[in-house]
Homo-oligomer: A and B are copies of this chain.
Amino acid sequence: MEIFWAYRISGDVCFLDADESGHCVRVLRHRAGDEIDVIDGEGTLLHCRLTDDNPRGAQAQILSAVPEWNAHPYNLSLACCPTKNNERFEWFVEKASEVGVDTIFPLIGEHSERKVYKTERAKRIALSATKQSLKARIPSIPEPRSVKDFLKESRDGLKLIACCFEGENPRITINEALAQYQGSEITILIGPEGDFSEEEVALAVKEGYLPISLGASRLRTETAAVAAVMAVYLRAM
């Protein structure tokens, strides 16, 4: 199934950017009059008819809409410290997008090897994985911020921080934490290569986060992040 993404919708008209238009018109050879499926990136699938087959800026008219198309029954924010190796973090972005995640917050931790992060490539990967896995909501990927700044932001729902050590508050497993919670708003923090610092975890606890363990295996950052998304996804099965 081919899906395109509209960067802008105005009334009943969808606008495709240069990348999407090129793919639609040049690669897949669609022409004005063809019916195409377009996602708005925010949950809705739009059945459309191509009206302008400009390969640099195509336009289509909306015929009908399917709200919450293939939506998952939770709102998951995965806040993770990007790894020094960008490819590893990008695998996580792709897999999280396929499985189902709503927001990926790149964070810079005290022990992060990567202190600077540009979201552009991750956003392209998230878009591509969203289309490939037949979803209509593209995970949003905000600009990076420090772990401490993120912890101080007000958030609803279940808030978990995965760390490898036992701080003052003993950890519970991610399964136990999810089993205790009836709602659907979930935030999970995954630390950098060097783990969260004791101060970061103490601040998290103060801000209402539960320290959790992701099991007995020693997982890389990007693997831990995928494990966390999988735990939420499997719970919702």
Among A70, A99, A132, A135, residue most surrounded by chain B Cβ atoms (within 10 Å): A99
Contacts of A27 in B (CB 8 A): none
A98 to B216, CA, bound (A): 11
- Do residues A217 and B133 form an inter-chain contact, with CB atoms below 8 A? yes
Q: A18–B103 Cα gap in the complex (Å)?
A: 45
Report the nearest B residue to A91, measured CB to CB.
B91
Q: How far is the CB of A15 from chain B (nearest CB, A)?
A: 26
- Cβ of A175 within 8 Å of any chain B Cβ, yes or no, is yes
Say whether A234 faces chain B, with CB atoms less than 8 Å apart.
yes
Residue A231 CB within 8 A of the other chain: yes
Contact check, B98 vs A133: say whether CB atoms are below 8 A apart: no
B234 engages A234 (CB within 8 Å): yes
Known contacts A91-B91, A230-B227, A230-B231; A217 and B99 CB within 8 A of each other: yes
Chain multiplicity (copies): 2
A54-83 at interface with B (beta carbon < 8 Å): 70, 72
**A234-B216 contact given A95-B226, A98-B223, CB 8 Å threshold:** no
Check: A237 CB closer than 8 A to any chain B CB: yes
Give, as a whole number of angstroms, the nearest-CB distance from A117 to chain B: 21
**Most B-side CB within 10 Å, residue of A175, A216, A220:** A216
CB distance from A214 to the nearest CB of B (A): 8
Nearest-CB distance from A37 to chain B (Å)? 14
A175 to B227, CA, bound (A): 15
Instruction: Give the CA-CA distance A217 to B231 in the complex, in Å.
Output: 14
In the complex, whether A205 has a CB less than 8 A from a CB of chain B is no
Q: Is the CB of B237 within 8 A of A230?
A: no
**Contacts A91-B91, A226-B226; A98 near B220 (Cβ below 8 A):** yes
30 A–B contacts from the bound complex (CB under 8 Å): A70-B216, A70-B217, A70-B218, A72-B216, A91-B91, A98-B217, A98-B219, A98-B223, A99-B223, A132-B220, A133-B217, A133-B218, A133-B219, A133-B220, A173-B237, A174-B234, A174-B237, A175-B234, A175-B237, A213-B237, A215-B233, A215-B236, A215-B237, A217-B233, A226-B226, A226-B230, A227-B230, A230-B230, A230-B231, A231-B234
Binding site for B on A (CB under 8 A): 70, 72, 91, 95, 98-100, 132-135, 173-175, 213, 215-220, 223, 226-227, 230-231, 233-234, 236-237
